[in-house]
Amino acid sequence: MDTSTALTADVIVLGFGKGGKTAAHALSSAGKRIILIEQSEDMYGGTCPNVGCIPTKMLVHYSNSRRLEDAAQEFFASSMEGVRALTAAGRAANFNAIDSKDLATVITGKARFVDSHTIAVGEGTDEITVTGSTILINTGSEPIVPPIEGIESSEHLVSSSDLTRLATLPQHLVIIGGGYLGLEFASIYRHFGSEVTVLEAADRLLPKEDEDVAEVATEILAGDGITLITGSAVTRVQDVDGGTVVTYVKDGVAQTVQGDAVLPATGRKPATDGLNLDAAGVEVAPRGAVVVDEYLRTSQPHIFALGDVNGGPQFTYISLDDARIVLDQLLGDGKRSTRDRVAVPRTVFITPPLATVGLSEREARERGLNITVAREKVANIVAFRRAYTVEETRGVMKFILDADTDLILGAAILSIDAQEVINVVALAMQQGVTATTLQNGIYTHPSTTEAFNEIFTKIVA
């Protein structure tokens, strides 16, 4: 006897991430019948509030609050309890916000396409099929485990998700990869009291940033006691009693470091495995991303892809903007597109954070642009008194300016409050506000934005 269930919806949303849940809210409020499918009850709300942005930034806060007299393990355990409480409350709130709506239903289970309009969830007698006129793919991304001998079988392998849920503070965390994710966890766990080693294949950290900015960031991280080994190629991970030995080659010589936790921070890939996209006729790029146009439509015009799964920048706020684009297609005039994005900021939450937007000096010079550069270390910006009041004067501010128009082409801010200030800079770039206008602004005191009053007088090139 077939006990499977068949449902219909105006819009099926695959995945509970920022883009998917934002679209689901708006579409159900507009009178559309919505079914949102999420494979795990632990991920209601998506990566950000569960294992990404929110718990990691909470860990940044906790780790920087630790006093010398706080016992590392006890303080770490207490901090993790706080993270678990917040993420649990967030999951419940996200679930109820969707499932409580009259025209929206949340189904938990692994989804796969049957055809271009039909999704199956579960198997056998528990299978549910859902047919929809429109489908939004919002399944996010997942960590990449590099092809290193012994790493996948190691009992000490941890993912970035694991590091937001651990019960015990590692004595020595070895991180493979010195990108945003790796450096963020390096900073967090070092401040909690772990010994931390970062193995980076490139010749320096943050190779996409200007060398002078990366150099200051490296000095800060090393000054916090993080061991940074660049130009290192990891070749093997081998478990031993009480830990694991990571073998790497630097300058042609094999060397080892032993730890009790190993994090491969070598990137993330679109989570499309198991979706059976072939059955839907949805084109996928060689690295697994769902191929979309500037309006986020896939090769099937009624199927859209939002967030990390479409291969765009892997930021929650990009997923939110993806939702705006899709909603404009479904409910608006259909003009909004990814081409509208200008000066998108980004931040790596080391301590203090590094936030950037627009062009680096290197990129601007490679393009042959006529530029000037305003640069100064935070400790030397007299107007930046807030840095002194909170006793964090490490860092640097750098702005790339168009010498002909005085417009801001890019910025790198390594300082307290950088994650906030960069949004002001991005808005100035988007609206054509000149550096002189920012310089002559009236700002509260003491504040980080006051640095604008002085930094644009620091022309160094």
Residue range 281-332, pLDDT digits in tens: 999 999 899 999 999 999 999 999 999 999 999 999 999 999 999 999 999 9
CATH class for the domain made up of 346-455: alpha beta
Query: Which of 362, 382, 385, 357 is closest to 373 using CA atoms?
Result: 362
Q: What is the DSSP string of 218-277?
A: HHHHHHTT-EEE-SEEEEEEEEETTEEEEEEEETTEEEEEEESEEEE-S-EEE--TTS-H
pLDDT at residue 296, as a whole number: 98
Each residue of 27-45: pLDDT tens digit? Answer: 999 999 999 999 999 899 9
Q: Looking at domain 5-142+269-340, which CATH architecture does it have?
A: 3-Layer(bba) Sandwich (3.50)
Rounded Cα distance between 200 and 178, Å, is: 5
pTM: 0.94
Cβ neighbours, 10 Å, residue 27: 25
Provide the pLDDT confidence category of residue 4 given band limits of 50, 70 and 90.
Answer: low
Element housing 12 (H / E) = strand 5-14
How far apart are alpha carbons 172 and 175 in whole angstroms? 10
Question: Collapsing DSSP states into helix, strand and coil, what is residue 421?
Answer: helix
Mean pLDDT of 381-406: 97
What does R_g of the chain's alpha carbons equal in angstroms? 24
Q: Is the pLDDT of residue 3 over 90?
A: no
Average pLDDT over residues 105-114: 96
- What's the whole-number mean pLDDT along residues 115-141? 94
What is the per-residue pLDDT for 123?
Answer: 81
Residue intervals of the chain classified under CATH 3.30.390.30 are 346-455
Average pLDDT, the chain: 95
Residue 2: pLDDT band with limits 50, 70, 90: very low
Structure tokens belonging to residue 59: 């860990």
Q: 42: exposed, middle or buried (C-beta count within 10 Å: 0-12, 13-18, 19+)?
A: middle
pLDDT class of 165 with cuts at 50, 70, 90: very high
Residues with a known catalytic role: 445
Give yes or no for residue 460 having a pLDDT over 90: no
Answer yes or no: is pLDDT of 5 > 90: no
| pLDDT for residue 126 | 83
Residues contacting residue 65 through CB under 8 Å, at least 6 positions apart: none
User: Who contacts 238 (Cβ-Cβ below 8 Å, separation ≥6)?
Assistant: 150, 154, 244, 245, 247
**221 to 46, 229, 354: CA distances (angstroms):** 30, 12, 12
In Å, how far are 21, 36, 98, 101, 164 from 95, measured between CA atoms? 10, 10, 6, 10, 21
| CATH topology assigned to domain 162-266 | FAD/NAD(P)-binding domain (3.50.50)
Phi and psi of 192, rounded to 5°?
A: -75, -20
Predicted confidence (pLDDT) per residue in 43-95, tens digit: 999 989 888 899 999 999 999 999 989 999 999 999 999 999 999 999 999 99
Closest CA to 113 of 229, 250, 14: 14
- pLDDT at residue number 1: 31
Answer for the pair 143, 160: CB distance below 8 angstroms, yes or no. Answer: yes
**Beta-strand relationship, 227-229 and 195-199:** parallel
CATH 3.50.50.60 residue window(s) in the chain: 5-142+269-340, 162-266
Cis check: omega of the bond before 55, within 30 degrees of 0: no
> What letter does residue 352 receive in the DSSP assignment?
S
Instruction: Give the chain's end-to-end CA distance (angstroms, integer).
Output: 78
Q: Which residues contact 77 (CB under 8 A, 6 or more apart)?
A: 167, 168, 169
Residue 38, pLDDT score: 96
